[in-house]
Structure 1
Amino acid sequence: MTPRSPRPTALGAAAVLLAGGLLTAAPPAQAVGNTPATPANTSSTANTASTAKAASTAKTQRTISPTPRSVTNRSDHVTITPTVTLVTGATSDGPSLDVVESALRKAGAQHVVRGDRPGGSGLTVYVGDTAALAAQHLDGPSELPADGYVLGIGADRIVLAGKDTTGTYYAAQTLRQVLPQQSRPGAQVAGIAVRDWPGTALRGVIEGFYGTPWSHEARLDQLDYYGEHKMNIYVYSPKDDAYLRAKWRDAYPAEQLAQIKELADRATQRHVDFTYALSPGLSVCYSSDADIKALVDKFQTIWDIGVRTFAVPLDDISYTDWNCAEDKEKWGTGGAAAGAAQAYLLNRVNKEFIATHPGAQPLQMVPTEYYNVSASPYKQALSEQLDPDVLVEWTGVGVVAPTMTVAQAEEARTVFGHPILTWDNYPVNDYTTDRLLLGPFNGREKGLPGKLAGITANPMIQPYASKIALHTVADYAWNDTAYDPRTSWLQGIKEYAGGDARTEKALRAFADINYSSSLNSEQAPDLAAAFDAYWTSGDATRLTSTLTTLGAAPDRLRDSLPDRGFIADAGPWLDATKSWATAARTALRMVEAARAGKGAQAWELRQQVPAQVTAAKSFTYTGLDGRAVPVVVVDGVLDRFIDAANAEYDRILGISGRPTASATLGTWQSNAPARMLDGDDSTYFWSDRSPAAGDGVTVDLGRTRELGDITLAMAKPTSPDDYLHEGVLEYSVDGQTWQQLAAFAGKPDVTATVPAGTSARYVRARATADQENWLVVREFDVTTKDGAVTGGPPAATGFSLRAAADADPNTVYRAARAPEAGDALQTGIEHTGPVRSVTVLRPTGTTGRGDIQLRGTDGTWRTIGTLDGAYTKVSAGGRSADAVRLLWGTGTAAPQVAEVVVTGQD
């Protein structure tokens, strides 16, 4: 359901010493929606626990996640004895007991005995036994909503009491996080009382993206993760399963049906509702009894393997074209007809299948109009005619909604007339497949879960890499009042790193540079702050440390991250990260060398940067269609730092007049205006909205210069209509008064020849009419004539004389042949006057000989120095001159020059 093109203060935490470690939990939240308020005898703030002696010497900080509603610390403690007895109660089940037993064994228990009464000696753990709370003077879970629980540690016992079996299972997951991990018994665990419940009934994931499907093993792993994080719904809706869509009427092959059964069984074990989502909209005849029977029969097959929750998504289809003539005859045409037809189909399924199967959960559906709150004939028909107990899935205001509010949810409830289950398109990346979205769940208002039937998040194509964001989704859906995106994100990284501080540091660095999305406007907040601090303070040592950590992060994660699936998912992005960090470190060293007056060293480093950037951009992975997909990391931060470092190098060297680009429109993702001037036709500026009349893009030449030809290349193969459909080319000296050069319409590529003698600093392309399509500009090339380079030898094919003095050391003049007698390369000096120095930059390895000469005001050429290797800087002694030339020696190799830099007298 996601688009395949872009259309469309940390919480204070109370610290509790538990088993030699620290437990943190956010302050308990007040009731949300219809959830009950905290009972009177439950503390609303966490008290500081007394320090208990512990056999363990570990001092790790442990966090309960999702954040509990209430955590109260007790003055007593329990000891993990060699033998521990598990007493089962009314709300215990096998999965809960398994989690508890595993946690106890990891805490040092050597023998765990299950029974219906306490053991003669040793610690007793009551699982699902509310009566056992009496000894701890704790209220039971009877007043809590479904999935709520009470966990008590103290009075010589541990008690897990759930409102239901799922609640007890969640108490077990909390206990798993609270207990220490050590190999021997004897740990003393400080007393604690946790009273907890979810903020909304359904919390989980919908696998509904386009692209490379998850493997069966990855889906099983995801279900384990959901159970650990108190998520209770998984919607099976992979677009790659043809038996859900194109072949929805057909029976599954036995092997594939067996896999779905295994998924459903694993979900049950993890207290997750496996929802089977059948999407018949591509071919269904809504009025057909045969098709309704086919749908019900398909559901029956899935029911028979243990599934109890079903959905009928009707998204990403046309509702203006019927699949059979009978539907048009029955309902007519238009949105209202489509809504009525869909309601008819769903009501039949609800009556003939859901109502006839005791234990079936409410039917879910996805409307064709799933992404806004505006009224429409379609929504009105659905609202009025669809059975009231059907859950409607909704993506918010937008397909990928940057924000989602209580007011919007209430509007959705009103306009659809049904309970709302959000299909939240985060962290899904099928519409931006070059990126990993590793930032937190953000932009969702507190109080929203209480207005919803539930929250499902659509994950990335990469299942294991999705877990960082899904950790924050689980945290928000469970306890939105206490939720802080940044805090939850950091906790998720810590958990995923497996408790190792160096791995956590590496994972945070990598997640930081994959942070931004439609929900998180900041790109690489940690790294961006480090760059800003460097430009402000000049502290290269600190930034070097940051970039070293970033560069080492990929190898550290490959060596130490417990979840190996993440390494496979993120492989190309890890490679790109390492390369980008190398390029950034080189750029930093270049600036520091230039500032220290080490010109030759700085130039050597400057020459390394472009190739390193190219290498960083080279990494790809193979998409579902077999094409190589380039990967992107930290766009707009690392690349901009390197650009800024190059600009700082140029400033120190004395280079001026390098063009820059800007736009009146915002930027879609990393496709910044600077890409219009990078000389690479495969990169581009891409706007984040449609241009209106007056919008446009501008090239600033840095100073007023005589103009040559102008070329504007717009659109790209995958969005051929993203160009200015009606516009003008204009130029200006001051950026205020503009002269029209040419008008254009209906074509993405525009060229113009400027009248001889025309000078300007600014050139722009401006829209003269509103349009629907966005804007792509691949290149905006403005040639200039002042400071022209003349002489020879002539340039080789693909090179130009101009490159020797174009204010860009990255471009190179390369001669077509060796110099002959009298050959010289000459460039004018913009303003005749005293010259302090001349610097000649040549590619490393260049050996050609030559004299550096200045032409005085009397027209006489005087030699001020000779070329010496790749970097030559000679003093001009303040001589007044109007031109500089390189007089080549004969018998040498074909000359190469990156830049001739003339520095005027201060």
Structure 2
Amino acid sequence: MTLRLRPLAMLAAALALVLGVPAVGAAADPPADPTAATPSATDPPSGSARRSASAITPRPRNVEERHDRAAITSTVTVVAGAEADAAALKVTRQALLDAGARQVVRGERPVRNRLTVYVGGPGETPQTAEALADLGIEGPAGLPAEGYVLGVGEDLVALSGKDAAGTYYAAQSLRLLLPERGGPGAKVAGVEIRDWPGTAVRGVIEGFYGIPWTHAARLDQLDFYGEHKMNIYVYSPKDDPYLRERWREPYPAAQLAKIEELVDRARARHVEFTYALSPGLSVCYSSEADIKALTDKFETVWDLGVRTYAVPLDDISYTRWNCQADQDKWGTGAAAAGAAQAYLLNRVNQDFIAAHPGAAPLQMVPTEYYNVTPSPYKKALAEQLDDDVVVEWTGVGVIAPVITVAQARAARDVFAHPILLWDNYPVNDYVTNRLLLGPYNGREEGMPAELGSGITANPMNQAYASKIPLITIADYTWNDAAYDPRTSWQTAISEYAGGDAKAEKALRVFSDVNHSSRINAQQAPDLAAEIERFWESEDERSLDGALADLQKSPDVLRDRLPEQEFIDDSEPWLDAAEAWGVATRAALRLVALARDGDGERAWEQRQRLPGLVAAAKSFTYTDLEGRKIPVAVGEGVLDKFTEDAAAEHDRLLGVTGGIRGLTSLPAYQGNTVARMVDGDDSTFFWSGRAAAAGDQVTVDLRKERQVGGVSLAMGKPGSANDYLRQGVLEYSSDGTSWKQLAAFSGQPVVTATAPAGTEARYVRARATAGQTNWLVVREFAVETKDAAVSGGPPPAAGSSLGAAADGDVGRVYRAARAPEQGEALQVDLGGTSEVTSVTVLQPEGGSAQAAVQVREDDGTWLTVGRVDGGYEELTVDYELASAVRLLWSGGGSAPQVAEVIVR
């Protein structure tokens, strides 16, 4: 396990202690290492092997098992030339110590009865070639750049890279191949690995908006990239004002020192630090002064060791010039913008990149970075931009659900330059309430080969939580031919859990409920499958176990996860996951009680459920603007299960349930569609994208009812233009055949009245034209005529008599006062029918007492029982009745009735 289990400071100190020791003669053992670890009482017995090549990630391309094996001896000799990669030596040495060696010493030849490890390719350690020949293994000469050969045989290990980076990657693979023990004696199975990257440029671009990474997190990320064979980091944080808003200004010394530290750390991990300067908000493309300001800024960081540069021109307007001189030089329009940008970039390429031997090809991000549609802008850029400039592209879409071979080829064609994919995953700055922990998905095998450059992934605001999906991205970019998202995801979770089985299980459960994204459509695939099995089998034990695991997972992770910074990143989501575990287990118990016929306890459980769900939705974090952002976990699975459990209880009670909102649009953050039917004008549904023609918001009345007035209130303060600009109100009984009620255009508030006698279950507002604005619906209200409820006492403000018999146990009739003697609440049944039972539900705290009576066919009232508690189910002997009433006992508290249910 890497991460916090092998601190780099320890590596450096250990290297200084041992690798600087002169070579030891063949016949003599070196002096004992006073710092060597002693075996633990819990170590496995000598000779046990705990790892195989399957533990190596990214997945190697070619692995062949051998019949021999190597043993970790007390002292291990490392043979390495003067040019051997220092980083590879550090990693190798620490891996051997972790595997049980007590000392690792430098030597020039093998020592009998001692493991010898050769580190370095042909240009680093010539002796490695002889060692590989002894093992019968071909060297790395025929491999691509950064490829390596790793051989393990009898008393011998050989690491040979095509280049220094390849040797470093061989050391990283050895680190994962060797066991971890407290003493010598472990056996390592013989193996031959020939491996190389399938993508030349592989890594991360820190390009998100929102809460930035800390300097410590950036340093840690660079360590992580090296461990996972990623070779580029693009420094483009939106919080660095000297990259964007104040790009012309020099850095303060303290910030420049931090950049230098990042550059040094990146170089030590074989990661190319790329400096991305974004002048587009204010640059005058034709200005010699601005061109000099840009190249001067590049010169400043060149002196720090930066050799790769980018000029992002994304997220700016190209229809508005920043200076009149640009309009005078190029005119107006998208083609003019493309020409101006090409001019600026070519000057930087010629004046700076070409003038600095050792500089990598310049990178740029076009303003049209998200599709492959030909345009005047792209044409101008393609034709006028220097051929060696690399163009960054996000796929077909800002966040592309899929990226295919054909799309990558089309990007090369339309931009006519090498493509570096800026892949916006797992970035979550557009869904700041979410963690995106699912695997890299939807990227076709063979796609990287069509790009011409490589792939950089844009991570989350949460640096440490980003590591799980980034491990899968490293896996794909190294070996896309063998990549399987699910397998890679499970491997990533196992690795990140540090070999702790309990932590691994908890992390898998937590990642499952934070799985979905634009590239992973399924939320909580494991738990969703478990829930589906429950509804099919009605066996609650397995599902309760899964939900208990969810409830417990946060505490397990807090106690056992090696990298505790993940906990800091994920704290509100962990809290929410635990609370959702409690809420969903309560929902499951509700269903079980209702199915067992325990109506009273089921009703008690049902009343607890809304509070538990509200608690699960209550967790927040504070963003850069000081706003409290509610976090979301398991959206569409956990919340839906509680809703479905309540619906099952409704079904068994014999009620329809409350009205619900439906929509074809995604919700932005926590502004779910349920908010448009909650009766509160201060809450709202807010779509996560603009409405297209055919998109709709719908009120489901749960059953066919007589409808009257309809009111649709859209837009809100601060987003006054977020409403359907053109659409129709429609109604339907079956959700398939629709009739138009009214058309509207340019109205944020729409009202209509259905013709007398109109019956419908669904009422919807449907867009008849596309638009660029998102949609806010504060309230979508539909008047209905339900069972007639009369009598008293009169309802309190905000309540109604009809709430006592509307089919929604969540809406409560609350009286304004205590009942008077002889006063009654009456529910008319709309005709005479045979009644077998009457159930009266009072909410928690409701304690009014009443006689329950049915009105017989001859108009007389028959008392069938009394109500004096929260749940009362009374049997009626098939009486023909036209009404039911609660004849209150005078005095006492004001009555509250959630529902009168007549069967």
Question: 1:117 offset after TM fit, Å?
Answer: 3.5
Q: 1:96 to 1:683 in 2, by over 3 A?
A: farther
Name the aligned partner's letter for residue 65 of structure 2. N
For residues 533 and 649 of structure 1, the distance between their equivalents in structure 2, rounded to whole angstroms, comes to: 18
What residue is the counterpart of 2:164 in the other structure?
165
Q: Using the alignment, how far apart are the partners of 2:135 and 2:849 within structure 1?
A: 91
**Structure 1 CA distance, aligned partners of 2:147 and 2:795?**
77
More deviation, 626-635/796-805: 796-805
Partner residue in 2 for 1:501? 501
Give the CA deviation at 1:463. Answer: 0.6
- 1:87 match: 79
Aligned partner letter, 2:534: Y
Q: CA deviation at 1:675?
A: 5.0
Q: How does 1:113-512 map to 2 (within 5 A)?
A: 113-119=105-111, 121-128=113-120, 129-452=128-451, 453-512=453-512
The aligned amino acid for 1:106 is: D
Hey, what's the Cα distance between the residues in 1 that align with 2:630 and 2:818? 40
2:429 partner SS: coil
SS at 2:502 equivalent = helix
1:44 is aligned to none
- Show the counterpart of 1:72: 64
Aligned residues: 852
DSSP 3-state at the match of 1:835: strand
Deviation of 1:472 after TM superposition, in Å, equals 0.6
Unaligned residue ranges in structure 2 (runs of 5+): 1-43, 121-127
Q: 1:403, CA displacement in angstroms?
A: 0.6
Q: 1:828 to 1:490 in 2, by over 3 A?
A: same
What SS does structure 1 have at the residue aligned with 2:262? helix
Q: Deviations over 1:74-104 (max 9, x none)?
A: 0001110000011113762111100000000
- Bigger CA drift: 219-228 or 280-289? 280-289
* TM-score of the pair, normalised by structure 2: 0.91
Displacement of 1:693 in angstroms is 5.4
Q: Which residue of 2 aligns with 1:709?
A: 709
Determine the C-alpha separation between the residues in 1 that align with 2:331 and 2:461.
Answer: 39
Using the size of structure 1 for normalisation, the TM-score is 0.91
What SS does the corresponding residue of 2:480 show, helix, strand or coil?
A: coil
- Judge conservation of contact 2:658–2:810 (CA < 8 Å) in 1: no
Bigger drift between 740-749 and 442-451 goes to: 740-749
- 2-side partners of 1:675 and 1:522: how far apart? 23
Asked whether the equivalents of residues 91 and 163 of structure 1 are also in contact (C-alpha less than 8 Å), the reply is no
Would the aligned equivalents of 1:276 and 1:311 in 2 still touch at CA under 8 Å?
A: yes
User: Contact 1:814–1:896 (CA<8 Å) still a contact in 2?
Assistant: yes
Percent sequence identity over aligned pairs: 64
Whether the aligned pair in 2 keeps the contact of 1:339 and 1:381 (CA below 8 Å) is yes
Supply the distance in 2 between the matched residues of 1:413 and 1:133 (Cα, whole angstroms): 41
Structure 1 residues 735 and 420 mapped into 2: Cα distance closer, same or farther (>3 Å)? closer
| Deviation (angstroms), 1:707 | 2.2
Cα distance change on mapping 1:288 and 1:61 into 2, 3 Å: closer
Structure 2 residue 638 is matched with structure 1 residue 646:
no
Give the deviation of 1:656 after TM superposition.
2.7
Q: Distance in 1 between matches of 2:528 and 2:873?
A: 35
What displacement does 1:419 show?
A: 0.6
1:832-854: CA deviation from partner (whole Å, max 9, x where unpaired): 21111111111223222111111
2:647 and 2:657 in contact (8 A); partners too: no
User: Cα 1:142–1:535, aligned 2, differ >3 Å: closer, same or farther?
Assistant: same
Counterpart CA distance in 1 for 2:53 and 2:610 is: 44
Aligned amino acid, residue 625 of structure 2: D
The change in CA–CA distance for 1:738 and 1:294 in structure 2 (over 3 A counts) is: closer
Task: Confirm whether residue 881 of structure 1 aligns to residue 881 of structure 2.
Answer: yes
Deviation digits for residues 573-629 of structure 1, max 9, x if unmatched? 111111111111111101100110111100000000001111111111000111111
1:829 is matched with 829
Summarize the Cα distance change of 1:455–1:435 in structure 2 as closer, same or farther, 3 Å threshold: same
1:619 is matched with 619
Q: Is the 8 A contact 2:656 2:808 kept in 1?
A: no
* CA distance 1:596–1:830, change in 2 (3 Å): farther
Q: 1:481/1:461 Cα in 2 relative to 1: closer, same or farther (>3 Å)?
A: same
Q: How far apart, CA to CA, are the structure 2 residues paired with 1:734 and 1:422?
A: 46
CA distance in 2, matches of 1:569, 1:351: 43
Please tell me whether the aligned partners of residues 808 and 899 of structure 1 are also in contact (alpha carbons under 8 angstroms): yes
The aligned residue for residue 573 of structure 1 is 573
1:603 paired residue number: 603
Could you say which residue in structure 2 is the equivalent of 1:108?
A: 100
Superimposed CA distance per residue, residues 619-666 of structure 1 (whole angstroms, 9 cap, x where no aligned partner):
110001111111111111111111111111011111136445444667
Q: Which residue of 2 aligns with 1:536?
A: 536
- How far apart are 1:724 and its partner, in Å? 2.4
TM-superposed CA distance for 1:162, in Å, is 0.2
Unaligned ranges ≥5, structure 1: 1-51
8 Å Cα contact 1:842/1:897 also seen in 2: yes
Is 1:632 matched with 2:632?
yes
Measured at CA, do residues 830 and 77 of structure 1 come closer, stay the same or move farther in structure 2, by a change above 3 Å?
farther
Q: Deviations over 1:327-354 (max 9, x none)?
A: 2222222222222221221122112221
Q: CA offsets per residue over residues 501-553 of structure 1, 9 Å max, x none? A: 11111111111111100000111101110110000001100000000000001
Aligned to 1:589: 589
Determine the C-alpha separation between the residues in 2 that align with 1:895 and 1:400: 54
CA distance, structure 2, for counterparts of residue 182 and residue 794 of structure 1: 77
CA distance in 2, matches of 1:218, 1:801: 59
Q: Is the 8 A contact 1:727 1:745 kept in 2?
A: yes
Q: Deviations over 1:275-319 (max 9, x none)?
A: 011111111122222211111111111011111111111111112
In 1, distance between residues paired with 2:340 and 2:142?
Answer: 42
Residue aligning to 1:17: none
Q: Tell me how far 1:713 sits from its aligned partner.
A: 2.7
Cα 1:448/1:89, change in 2 over 3 Å: farther
Q: Secondary structure at the match of 1:854?
A: strand
How has the CA–CA distance of structure 1 residues 667 and 434 changed in structure 2, closer, same or farther, with 3 Å as cutoff?
closer
Displacement after TM superposition at 1:727 (Å): 2.9
Quote the offset at 1:751 in angstroms: 2.8
Q: 1:673-698 CA deviation, whole Å, 9 max, x = no partner?
A: 55543445566556676555565344
Q: Which amino acid aligns with 1:160?
A: L
CA distance in 2, matches of 1:693, 1:412: 28
| Residue aligned with 1:153, SS | strand
SS of aligned partner of 1:260: helix
With 85-94 and 499-508 compared, the bigger mean Cα shift is at 85-94
1:11-36, CA deviations, whole angstroms, 9 ceiling, x for partnerless residues?
Answer: xxxxxxxxxxxxxxxxxxxxxxxxxx
Q: Which moved more, 1:733-742 or 1:814-823?
A: 733-742
Shift of 1:399: 0.6
CA-to-aligned-CA distance 1:708-752 (integer Å, 9 cap, x gap): 432223345565434322333333456566554443332222233
One-letter amino acid matched to 1:317 = I
Whether the 8 Å CA contact 1:657–1:703 is kept in 2: the answer is no
Q: Deviations over 1:867-889 (max 9, x none)?
A: 03111110111111111111111
Tell me, in whole angstroms, the C-alpha distance in 2 between the residues paired with 1:264 and 1:93. Answer: 18
Name the CA distance, whole Å, in 2 between partners of 1:90 and 1:769: 70
d(CA) in 2 for partners of 1:838, 1:447 = 66
Q: Match of 1:36?
A: none
Q: CA RMSD in A?
A: 2.2
Deviation for aligned residue 1:821? 1.8
Does the CA-based 8 Å contact 1:724-1:775 persist in structure 2? yes
Secondary structure at the counterpart of residue 609 of structure 2? helix
